[in-house]
Structures are given as structure tokens and as C-alpha cells.
Structure 1
Amino acid sequence: MNTEPFDAAIVGGSYAGVSAGLQLARARRRLLVIDAGQRRNRFAASSHGFLGQDGRPPQDIAAEAQAQLRAYPTVRWVDASVASATRTGQGFDLRTGDGHTLRAARLVLATGVEDQLPPIEGLAERWGRAVFHCPYCHGYELQQGRIGVLARSELAMHHALMLPDWGQVTLFLDEAFEPGEQQLRELAARGVAIERTPVRRLVEHATVELDDGRRLSMDGLFTMSWTRPATPIAAQLGCAMEQSPMGEFVRTDAMKATSVPGVFACGDLARAAGNVALAVGDGAMAGAATHRSLLFPEA
């Protein structure tokens, strides 16, 4: 067992985790970052809406940020998964997938979430390329073209009423729900077409093939995924969770502290919905709050 103590450990080295790490590294704290290399947006060709980085490949943004953090002399970076996390009298023990145990006084969870996609044939391989979840991240590039909304539940109304700002919208109900009279009026007011025939599969770039054999060609599609934490670490530690219509996430306060003393959470793991810019902001707050907790443990 490696008993060398760190002031803080961050599990997850993507946007939120690196942002948290920068605050701690610049405070000259001994920092451990453990990263399994699975960014949620690894399927997307470009990232949008993040100040100063608009249009860059997300892997390039992440790689540059990681290199900047790793340049700080008090940072140790470990490419590994975390199999388990345990509270101890001095902080936390983290056991990696390859059997090593590392210790830290504070813990920041930035593990992100996994998307549970609709079981439509052809959707998974188009996720992040022709099928999206965030209009702000991907709507502009569709050039006011033909946009499909694939319903999973009544929450599809949110996408259907937003997306006319980005193009000509067709709502594919796919037997997920039936709009009420008021909802039909709202959709009509926004110029949204409604398609009730069930979806058979997706083909070509973003063409929706229906059960009756028709094919409706779209420039892009949007749907809501359900999410779950990418690892069970928060649950292992006993962190309180929140349930949202889009999935489960870790409950935090305004300073990104969880219900477990000494544990902070940030990024998509700690909010109902997110993007790169929000993850970076969350991480900065979590990193600063973690440092403050080391200085003022009773605050």
C-alpha cells in the first residue's frame, strides 16, 4: 500500500476535474488526480459555447488543460480507474483498478455520468455526430435546417419548443406520449410538425425511417438521454443523491460540498444537466472550496 498522503484527490480528469485541480495546484497543495480517460463528450467532433474554445475538438481542449495542470510540481497524475473509495480517520483511501491504494485528506468527485440512450436502431453510432442532447452545443451548426426531436417522454416538449430557434422542427412522438390540447397549440404556434408513426430506425446521416416505410431526412436529431453516475463511488461513500427527470446526480450545496464531510462533487455528476462551460465553473468552485476546507476545517 502506498501510504504517502495527498492534501486532496480528484477522481476524474476531464473539464470539471482539471478545473478543480488548477485551484488546488495553484495553492501549492499536494494533489492526486486519477483519471480513467472516458470523457462524456468523446463522441463529438467539436465543442461549442465554451468561451475562447468555440469550435475546437473536445479532445484537444481536454489534452491542453490536462497538460497545463500536470506541469505544476505538486500534482501527481494517475491513469487508472477507481474501484472503491473508503473514509478513514485521516481522510479517504482510494483503491485503483490495478490494486493500488492511495490516500488523501479531501476528495473531489468529477467522474461524470453515462448516457442511457433510447433503444432505437442506428442511434448509438450517431450519438454526438448527428444525434444530440443540447441545442446550445450543437443547434447552430445545423444551419436552420431540418431538425428532428425523438421523444422518450413528455419532456420532449422542451426540445420541441426550443429548437425552432435553430431550424424547422419535426417532433417524432414514437408512442412515447400524446400532446394535450394546450401542448398542441404551443407546438403549432412554434411551427412544429408532429409525426405519430413509430420510428423503426435511423439510417444515412440523420434520416428517420418509420414503421410504414417512409423516410424523413433530417439535418440533425435531438433526444434526451437518461443519465447515471459513471462510477459507484459516490454511492459507496454514502453521498446523498438527487433524482431528476433526466437521471440521478449527486446533491451538493452552493460550494459543491456533498452530504459527506470532506467530499466535494462537480461537473455533470453534480447537476441535472450540463456542458463544458458549466463543468469548468463547477470545478473551479469545488477546487477553491476544497482548499478552504483544508484551511478552515470547522467552517
Structure 2
Amino acid sequence: MLDVIVIGGSYAGMAAALQLARARRKVLVIDAGQRRNRFARHSHGFLGQDGVDPARIWAEARSQLEAYPTIRWVEGSASGLTGQRDDFRVVLDSGEAFSGRRILLATGVADQLPDIAGINERWGQSVFHCPYCHGYELDQGRIGVIATGPMSMHQAQLLPEWGEVTFLTNTALTLDPDQRDDLHARGVTIEETPVARITGEADVELHDGRVLSFDGLFTATRTIPASPLAEAAGCALIGTPIGSQIMTSEAKETSIPGIFACGDVARAPHSVSLAVGDGAWAGAQLHRSLVWPEG
């Protein structure tokens, strides 16, 4: 019987596992190998790791974590989660099963991109969602914001801090006069012709044949939990302005006693720094739930 089974071996899951390992608890980390930022060349805004390849950050963190004797790492996807507090069972796609007293869901989220030809291939390379992560490197250049809904207005208002912005509404929303005035006051160009496809590095071909060239593109994705495990286990989900996530208490426990959640799947907004902090807090709270089970 393990103390904690961590489902998700990215930044939040590892940060939680580290706290538990340092408390000498028996922890299993199940990793499906699908880090959300696996498409990005560099990670930015993460103190001490600014500009580093995220794959390198992850590999070094895993190596440090596995140096603790009470940590076990398994590569695979969890397909089943049953049981109750102090007696959970997790089954992998391979059929292998594990038992644990607590569960931590750190499975991350999946980004739902707009249905535009060429955008998926450029995700994390020249198409982004977070200006704090990628805006500086555009060097005050030309930025296109492709609308997906109301949250895109927020992006268009914020991104002039990082460059010269064109807001491509792409039939995703209709701007009212006050919104237009606000964007014009910020120096934002409004383009209402629908987007046909993305080409080149960050070129936007419009339906009327015009091509607008940018140094980078931003779009507000919708996010959903990357794994169906939480919902299948009965954990409550909540809506956010950018999608859905697992509902948790301040101690990171879900609506199911003994199942905790952290990282992008359990908080918004999202970044590596925030995921690590959330994971560290979740790990400490998990440990406390083992020390004071009635607390």
C-alpha cells in the first residue's frame, strides 16, 4: 500500500512528489509523457530556469526526484481509478494496478485550438496563449491576436505591452462601440475579415486573399482536463473563463475525500511557475492529511 499515487509526471506532480519524498512517504508517480509545454523550445518566466528547454527542466527535475528512495516512477497512462480514502486502486492501460491511501491528480489540461488550417503545427512555436511566457521574445514586433471568444478581448487589450497588435476577430465575437474605442485608444488595429489559414512562420492568410505577416500570434484556447479520470471517479468540475477544471478546496482536495488535484487541471491561470507552486502546496497538504487523517 503506497501513501500517495501521483497521476501526472509533469511540473505540478513532481513538485508535490518532492514534498512527500522529503517526508519519507512512499510515492508512485505515473507519467504518460504528455507535458503541456512539450511543443515549446524554451520556458520563460520560471525563476532560475528562464530560457531553458522545458524538456531539460523536466528531465533534471525527474532525476533529482528519483534520487529519493521512497519514490517510484512508472511510465504509462492511468485508465481506471476506484476505491475510497485509504484504499484506492489505480489501473494502467497495461493492466498493471497499484493501491494507495491518497490520490493526486496532476494530469494537466488539453488545449482546444480554433479550427484554422496551420495553427496546430505552429502551437508553442509561433502561436501562443501566454504573453508573460512568450511576449518578450517578439521584441516589440508585430503581434496578431486571433479571437476565439470573449476572453480574446482581454488578450487584445493586454498585448500592446509587447508589440504592435492587430486583433483578428475571425467572426468569433462582435465588438461594441465601447470596445472598439478602447482598442483604438491602445493602438490596436481591428481586422474583421475571417482567417483562412496560417502559413510561413506566423503569416495569416485572410479569406479575401490578403496575407498579414506577424512576428508571433496569440489565441485564447479553451482548456479541458487532459484525462477523464477525475470525472469518472466522481470529482466535481467547475467552469472558468478559459474552460473547465477540477474543483478543489484550499487544501487541494477534490469533492471526493482522499483525492487531491493540482496544477493546470485544478487552477487558473496557467504557467510552469504557478503549477510548481500549486504542486508544492498540494504535496504538503497531502502529507498533513496522512499525519492528521481526521483533520
Equivalent residues in 2 for 1:90-239 (5 A)? 90-239=86-235
Amino acid at match of 1:296: W
1:72 and 1:267 mapped to 2: Cα distance? 22
2: distance between equivalents of 1:70 and 1:89?
Answer: 26
Q: 1:88 to 1:264 in 2, by over 3 A?
A: closer
Change in CA separation of 1:202 and 1:73 when aligned onto 2, cut-off 3 Å: same
Q: Report deviation, 1:178.
A: 1.5
Tell me the CA shift for residue 66 of structure 1: 0.7
RMSD, matched Cα = 0.8
Give the whole-Å Cα distance in 2 for the aligned partners of 1:155 and 1:21: 34
1:252 paired with 2:248, answer: yes
Task: Give runs of ≥4 in structure 1 deviating > 3 Å.
Answer: none
**Equivalents in 1 of 2:10, 2:107: separation in Å?**
8
TM (norm. structure 1) is: 0.97
**Counterpart contact for 1:151–1:174, Cα < 8 Å:** yes
Q: Which amino acid aligns with 1:176?
A: A
- Counterpart in the other structure of 2:79: 83
Q: 1:146-170: per-residue Cα shift (whole Å, max 9, x none)?
A: 0000001122110000000000000
1:91 is displaced (CA, Å) by 2.0
1:160–1:192 contact (8 Å) kept in structure 2: yes
Matched, 1:51 2:83: no
| Count of residue pairs brought into register by the alignment | 295
Q: Deviations over 1:241-269 (max 9, x none)?
A: 11123211001112211111111100000
Structure 1 alignment gaps of length 5 or more = none
Structure 1 distance, partners of 2:18, 2:253, is: 18
Deviation string, structure 1 residues 30-68 (Cα, Å, up to 9, x no partner):
111110110000000000000100000011001111111
Distance 1:207 1:76 in 2: 46
SS in 2 for 1:47: coil
Aligned to 1:84, the other structure's residue is in SS state strand
CA contact (8 A) 1:201 1:209 kept: yes
Indicate the larger mover: 281-290 or 248-257: 248-257
Does residue 63 of structure 1 match 2:59? yes
**1 CA distance for matches of 2:85 and 2:223?**
33
- What is the CA–CA distance in structure 2 between the aligned matches of 1:153 and 1:159, rounded to whole Å? 11
Q: 1:36 aligned to 2:46?
A: no
Structure 2 residue aligned with 1:11: 7
SS at match of 2:183: helix
Residue equivalent to 1:289: 285
* Amino acid in structure 2 at the alignment position of 1:42: R
After TM superposition, the structure 1 stretch with the greater mean CA deviation from structure 2, 47-56 or 87-96, is: 87-96
Structure 2: unaligned runs, 5 residues or longer = none
Q: Shift of residue 273 of structure 1?
A: 2.5
Maintained 8 Å contact 1:91/1:262: no
Task: Label 1:32 to 1:42 Cα distance change in 2 as closer, same or farther (>3 A).
Answer: same
- Percent identity of equivalent pairs: 57
Contact kept, 8 Å, 1:247 with 1:272, in 2: the verdict is no
Provide the secondary structure at the position in 1 that maps to 2:143. strand
1:273-284 matched pairs, under 5 angstroms: 273-284=269-280
Query: Contact conserved, 2:142 with 2:164, CA < 8 A, in 1?
Result: yes
